[in-house]
Structure 1
């Protein structure tokens, strides 16, 4: 309520929704500008608007509400708490507005990782079948070494892309377009911490599962099949639940490393703090987009798999050549599908990180000011 009973003073227009009247005798600043005495912070390079402490505490904006510029959606999403539709639509918009820095960069990274993987996997496949007449190890055992190598290189490519694409999302939220070169130069020093965080989480997830599975197999081989099955079930279910919980609680570590410039341990703690109280929401959204990406990736990989199996059937007298064709086709399918689906998943995770900081820290206020500074700089 104002001294006029909640209505604007005579001759004065209503303020924009959610904003208060300016102090007496002071006019609203023009659209896209901030009132004198409240300078905006520019956000060069790696977007220090996301740095820890950059956002004002909730209820304590850096400038009065009436001084904030009306720039509620400078980029791919509105600067407010985001819903499921917002994060999915924003991820798609980031890809459409920055195809080179998303699809192109994903294709380059996957090529750089999976071409050597294809060569190594093909050689391992040939070694695993020492003789063209030896068909006993065909099938899953014949391609097992190749599958392990492919998984390792895919993990490396995914970790690198998670860091690179977090920067693209941060820029796109502020309405900035970026390129592969600028993304690489702004992010390359943060890639090792991103991979380190991924490695720590994956080891914490995989090692307990391997121990339980190994114990079950060992008991089975020693004639205790029932005990081995019991150990596998009773030990595997808690390990699976723990893996889901840990992966969800640490899902926002990579965006924190890239956008805040912090290390591995602070980023993991940051992710735990940001996901506190919203485990099921975070898990549900990540699971949904992962399923969508997996279905899309499988559909994109089907033509390459068919080509590989047709080639294998055509070289029936030479199992080595047939399995090598399957391995190469699998890598080609992974490159194509990964280049299209990885940016989508990484975009959703990056927007979940921004959403949590908006809800907990009022980051939208800082981002609006940074976008206003960009707008003023372009006009100047």
Structure 2
């Protein structure tokens, strides 16, 4: 018997009277030799063998290939695998692919194996790593299923945000900013630079307010989406009660993100500003523009790296710094995926919102008269009628964009935690799914 485990077959240990290393069982000592029995043929086969034996060369191993024209017996079906399908060479699929497979070696496992069991879906998403379509569908399903709570939160945030934009444009931006030099061919470089600065300032302030509204809506809708994943509803009061303790930290997180974003852009533009102040205006402007572009790229990378900090702060009840580090950990290695999904969701939401906003913009221009001419001229002097009517369209559009972008952000956070931390097991227990994760293959 060999010392290597697993090589010796059961019952192969040497018996009594057999020398170690012998290849067969020991013969009894008193057994007579068949060749020495009376009437036996010394050259013939052993006793009780027929003398008509096949000639040499026609012997075949018991496990060899079947003879030509002979159909091999089908393999016995194992428990749970079902009957193997018939292949081109006969039953069992021996003709084309591997034994036991169908044509081409695929799909011959029978009807008893249907793949792994489907993931549990107690709410708007299945509890497994999600695809892009499932994330978008989950956000839309949340808005459709819990529309009262979702639209109530979105409408409140959109109205507050749009009122701030209208008041800021009506009282401040219309008087403080001037872009007339952009339409003047004889304008000097200083006038063009000042006009570009005013336009960027106006757009940045409006974008900043809109971004604040979007982040606040995301934070308030985080509770709704997280409950929708479990198949549980939540009212506006419950959502606010759950989010209220984290609101001060949320604004601190928002302030830190904006400070970081504008700080990076300003750091990129600072060398050009210094060169311009030194007297080299042409080179300074070019260097400033390049610096702003470079700073914007870095700020964009940082923004999406920390884009999951808001759901982490609201759901994990973490601090500001801890939420930023959690987002960076979840996004690490998946930045392009997070960026692409959020960009796609933003594009889809804004296209849908534009279908609503554009008609209101034309209606506002038709009702205000002068504002429509000012828009065509490229000036920023917009009347109150135009601001109010177009603001109504913006509110309706924000009611569509906020739930989609917020839902996608929260579902991306959940998806990344499922992929990295097996959050689906905890979600299944929270949703009351019985025996989830115990019947999977290999468990």
Alpha-carbon contact 2:123-2:229 (below 8 Å) kept: yes
Secondary structure in 1 aligned to 2:369? helix
Can you list the C-alpha shifts for 1:307-335, whole angstroms capped at 9, x where unaligned?
A: 23223325899999952233323432321
Mapped to 1, the partners of 2:114 and 2:430 lie a distance apart of: 20
Secondary structure in 2 aligned to 1:184? helix
Report the equivalent of 1:106: 154
Relative to structure 1, is the Cα distance of residues 216 and 294 closer, same or farther in structure 2, using a 3 angstrom cutoff? farther
Alpha-carbon contact 2:265-2:295 (below 8 Å) kept: yes
Q: 1:95 aligns with which of 140, 143, 146?
A: 143
Report the equivalent of 2:336: 280
- 1:299-338 equivalences in 2 (<5 Å): 299-313=355-369, 323-338=383-398
Relative to structure 1, is the Cα distance of residues 279 and 125 closer, same or farther in structure 2, using a 3 angstrom cutoff? closer
Can you list the C-alpha shifts for 1:120-156, whole angstroms capped at 9, x where unaligned?
A: 5323367559xxxx99799989998876664444333
Mapped to 2, the partners of 1:6 and 1:190 lie a distance apart of: 57
Alpha-carbon contact 1:286-1:349 (below 8 Å) kept: yes
Residue 359 of structure 1, CA deviation: 1.0
Report the equivalent of 2:13: none
Mapped to 2, the partners of 1:279 and 1:321 lie a distance apart of: 41
Alpha-carbon contact 2:269-2:295 (below 8 Å) kept: no
Which structure has greater helix proportion?
Answer: 1
TM-score in terms of structure 1 length:
0.70
Report the equivalent of 1:184: 240
Mapped to 2, the partners of 1:126 and 1:252 lie a distance apart of: 36
Q: 1:122 aligns with which of 161, 170, 174?
A: 170
Mapped to 2, the partners of 1:317 and 1:176 lie a distance apart of: 51
Secondary structure in 1 aligned to 2:258? helix
Alpha-carbon contact 1:212-1:235 (below 8 Å) kept: yes
Relative to structure 1, is the Cα distance of residues 311 and 320 closer, same or farther in structure 2, using a 3 angstrom cutoff? farther
The answer to which of 355-364 and 108-117 deviates more is 108-117
Mapped to 2, the partners of 1:203 and 1:82 lie a distance apart of: 33
Can you list the C-alpha shifts for 1:332-370, whole angstroms capped at 9, x where unaligned?
A: 232111111111011011111101111111111111111
Secondary structure in 2 aligned to 1:82? coil
Q: 1:347 aligns with which of 407, 411, 419?
A: 407
Which consecutive residues of structure 2, in runs of 5 or more, have no partner in the other structure?
1-76, 81-111, 184-194, 435-443
Residue 268 of structure 1, CA deviation: 0.4
Residue 212 of structure 1, CA deviation: 3.6
The answer to which of 204-213 and 344-353 deviates more is 204-213
Alpha-carbon contact 2:309-2:323 (below 8 Å) kept: yes
Can you list the C-alpha shifts for 1:10-51, whole angstroms capped at 9, x where unaligned?
A: xxxx999758xxxxxxxxxxxxxxxxxxxxxxxxxxxxxxxx
Report the equivalent of 1:269: 325
Tell whether 2:252 aligns with 1:196. yes
Mapped to 1, the partners of 2:146 and 2:347 lie a distance apart of: 24
Alpha-carbon contact 2:306-2:328 (below 8 Å) kept: yes
| Larger RCO: 1 or 2 (CA < 8 Å, sep 6+) | 1
TM-score in terms of structure 2 length:
0.61
The answer to which of 194-203 and 340-349 deviates more is 194-203
Residue 189 of structure 1, CA deviation: 1.5
Residue 184 of structure 1, CA deviation: 0.9
Residue 284 of structure 1, CA deviation: 1.1
Residue 254 of structure 1, CA deviation: 0.7
Tell whether 2:218 aligns with 1:170. no
Secondary structure in 1 aligned to 2:232? coil
Mapped to 2, the partners of 1:224 and 1:250 lie a distance apart of: 38
Mapped to 1, the partners of 2:351 and 2:372 lie a distance apart of: 31
Can you list the C-alpha shifts for 1:83-140, whole angstroms capped at 9, x where unaligned?
A: 10110000000000111221221011221333244235323367559xxxx9979998
Mapped to 2, the partners of 1:353 and 1:337 lie a distance apart of: 25
Q: 2:128 aligns with which of 69, 80, 102?
A: 80
Report the equivalent of 2:349: 293
CA RMSD of aligned residues (A): 3.6
Secondary structure in 2 aligned to 1:277? coil
Which consecutive residues of structure 1, in runs of 5 or more, have no partner in the other structure?
9-13, 20-69, 375-380
The number of aligned residues is 311
Q: 1:259 aligns with which of 289, 312, 315?
A: 315
Alpha-carbon contact 1:163-1:255 (below 8 Å) kept: yes
Q: Which of the pair has more CA radius of gyration?
A: 2
